[in-house]
């Protein structure tokens, strides 16, 4: 789908990849940007920068792990934004931990954002997209949708849920005029790593050796190319795509390397 002239909703837009996607979508010609996030000051800063550049950008404060906030967002969109052309489910949360070191609240949050947030918001916006036979949903997760390593149990489970949602929803949408892109990323240099330093230490050694982290702008560019090319599946960087292809051929070998070079307490 061409982004020019479209209304785009981006979740998790307060910083990092979400903020970079907002800038990239604006450069690609988006007519209106609706940015959702939980951190009011940072979200407003992103929106003000876009507005200063001439963008029609709006901030909507919401915690999408709560159903009431999702309903409030949908009501706001209907009242102020009109039809949504592109929904980018980028919101995510949670540190990498062994399951027994995670609280019940942390396990719930890991699944609520991204998975429940993406499922709830997509469910609410899909009827209008289907009626118009027009729309594009982007689900953003990581290569944990395919790969596993020690010390990130709830995070990996949530990424697997995002992959299941994406695969099943793409099947549902076949022939509807509504498209879906699932983005699996390798490491991206965002504020996540500074707020969750233990997660960086748990990146498997083989991944640190082979895969260069992307900047947020590089990841955003890969996603935007995927949307404009109506690609069903996008993996970046190129080396990570090669790792996933190898996993498809010899999953036991790649899994073994990820586990053996992973974090041990």
Q: Indicate which CATH number applies to the domain containing 240.
A: 3.40.50.720
In this structure, the strands spanning 7-10 and 86-89 are: parallel
Give the pLDDT of residue 200: 74
Q: How many Å apart are CA 101 and CA 110, to the nearest integer?
A: 14
Question: Is 155 noted as a catalytic residue in this protein?
Answer: yes
Residue 54 lies in a domain: yes
Kindly state whether residue 265 falls inside one of the protein's structural domains. Answer: no
The per-residue pLDDT for range 117-148, each reduced to its tens digit, is 999 999 999 999 999 999 999 999 999 999 99
Residues 71, 207: Cα–Cα separation, whole Å? 39
Q: What is the Cα–Cα distance from 169 to 171, expressed in whole angstroms?
A: 5
Which residues make beta-bridge pairs with 138? Answer: 88, 181
Catalytic residue among 115, 155, 183, 192: 155
Q: What is the pLDDT of residue 202?
A: 84
Number of structural domains in the chain: 1
Q: What's the pTM?
A: 0.95
For residue 190, the model assigns a pLDDT of: 79
Domain that holds residue 118: 7-260
Looking at residue 212, its pLDDT comes to 86
Mean pLDDT score of the chain: 94
């Amino acid at each position: 789908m061409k982004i020019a002239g479209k209304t785009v909703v981006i979740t998790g837009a307060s910083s990092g990849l979400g903020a970079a996607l907002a800038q990239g979508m604006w450069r690609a010609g988006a007519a209106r940007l609706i940015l959702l996030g939980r951190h009011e000051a940072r979200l407003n800063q992103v929106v003000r920068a876009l507005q200063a550049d001439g963008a029609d950008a709006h901030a909507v404060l919401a915690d999408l792990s709560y159903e009431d906030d999702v309903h409030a967002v949908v009501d706001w969109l209907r009242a102020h934004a009109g039809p949504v052309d592109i929904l980018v489910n980028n919101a995510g949360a949670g540190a990498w931990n062994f399951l027994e070191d995670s609280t019940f609240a942390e396990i719930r949050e890991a699944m609520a954002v991204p998975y429940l947030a993406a499922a709830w918001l997509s469910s609410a916006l899909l009827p209008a997209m289907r009626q118009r036979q027009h729309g594009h949903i982007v689900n953003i997760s990581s290569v944990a949708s395919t790969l596993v390593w020690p010390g990130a149990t709830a995070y990996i489970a949530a990424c697997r849920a995002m992959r299941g949602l994406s695969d099943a929803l793409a099947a549902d949408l076949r022939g509807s005029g509504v498209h879906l892109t699932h983005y699996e990323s390798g490491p991206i240099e965002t504020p996540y790593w500074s707020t969750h330093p233990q997660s960086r230490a748990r990146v498997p050694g083989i991944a640190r050796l082979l895969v260069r982290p992307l900047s947020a702008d590089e990841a955003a560019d890969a996603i935007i190319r995927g949307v404009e090319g109506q690609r069903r599946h996008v993996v970046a960087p190129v080396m990570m795509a090669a790792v996933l292809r190898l996993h498809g051929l010899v999953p036991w070998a790649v899994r073994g390397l990820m586990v053996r070079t992973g974090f041990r307490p």
